[in-house]
Amino acid sequence: MNSNLTQLLQLAQETARKAGMIIIEQEGGSSVSLKAENNLVTEADLAAQDLITRTIRDHFPKHSIIAEEEDLRAKSGEPDLWIIDPLDGTNNFAHTIPHFSISIAYARSGKVQAGVIYDPSRDEMFSASLAGGAFLNEKPIQVSKARSINEAIVATGFYYDRGEMMRNTLTSIEKLFEANVHGIRRFGSAALDLCWVACGRFDAYFEYKISIWDFAAGMLIVNEAGGECSDHFGNQLNLDSAGVAVSNGRLHKEFLDIVAYG
């Protein structure tokens, strides 16, 4: 890894850890408001985002930023771009369920170079750099060895829209059960769903409507851990994709045959 990328990754890790402390301090006491129906935002989301964006702007004033709770958004192909979800799993956080994360990615001209996802409740820091491998608390991680859907735990997520996407998700869950999957999980943090595929806790994960900040860092972490990332149509995942289907690679085709559509 070149020294610039090493420094970037280190800064992202330190910042994610600090954001995690801010969030944990507010657990159980952060005021909640609604962005849209069923879509919450808390004071902690805003405070964590403020810390992360200020840190990046101080260090890299010329870099662009996409952050979930900011109105002004850069484009995904910017030469130097940071993509931030300051609190992924807000619904869990607002209900005092300790499963949420901070996701920070750095991309160059549409290609993610470094990614960090921090789970402050478990003190688990996932990180990766392009061609540099994926790590959990500095130890290398790899995807699972399951060969088939009937040996797999599959994670999913439900977008806030309770219409077509929800129906498609439920249909796919039914098909996965028909294929004799070991289990289905919906834990509520897309960024951690990706990390848990990367470290082999999950064998696959799909979600039909997802935003760039939910998957930018996680996509690199899964790829660097030896997994495979598609969009929900089966095309290779990129920063402009709208849905994800990722797996350990070994069962990817079988997985896509069940969950891809369109």
Q: Can you give the binding site for ligand IPD, defined by CB under 6 A?
A: 85, 88-91, 157-159, 188-190, 207, 210, 214
Q: How far is the C-alpha of 228 from the C-alpha of 219, rounded, in Å? A: 9
**Helix, strand or coil, per DSSP, at residue 194:** helix
CA distances from 197 to 61, 135, 190, 261 (A): 34, 13, 11, 21
Decide whether 20 or 89 has the Cβ nearer to ligand IPD: 89
DSSP symbol at 207: E
Decide whether 130 or 176 has the Cβ nearer to ligand IPD: 176
Using CB under 5 A as the binding rule, whether residue 119 contacts Ca ion is answered as: no
Contact partner at residue 157 from ligand IPD, Ca ion, none, CB < 5 to 8 Å by partner kind: ligand IPD
Note the Cα 152 to chain centre separation in Å.
Answer: 20
Decide whether 85 or 231 has the Cβ nearer to Ca ion: 85
Minimal distance, residue 91 CB to ligand IPD, in Å: 6
Q: How far is the C-alpha of 75 from the C-alpha of 226, rounded, in Å? A: 28
Using CB under 5 A as the binding rule, whether residue 88 contacts Ca ion is answered as: yes
Q: Which of 85, 203, 207, 224 binds Ca ion (CB under 5 A)?
A: 85
**Residues 62/80, Cβ–Cβ less than 8 Å:** yes
Contact partner at residue 119 from ligand IPD, Ca ion, none, CB < 5 to 8 Å by partner kind: none
What is the enclosing helix (H) or strand (E) of 107? strand 101-108
Residue nearest to Ca ion (CB): 88
In the complex, the residues that contact Ca ion under the rule CB under 5 A are 68, 85, 87-88, 214
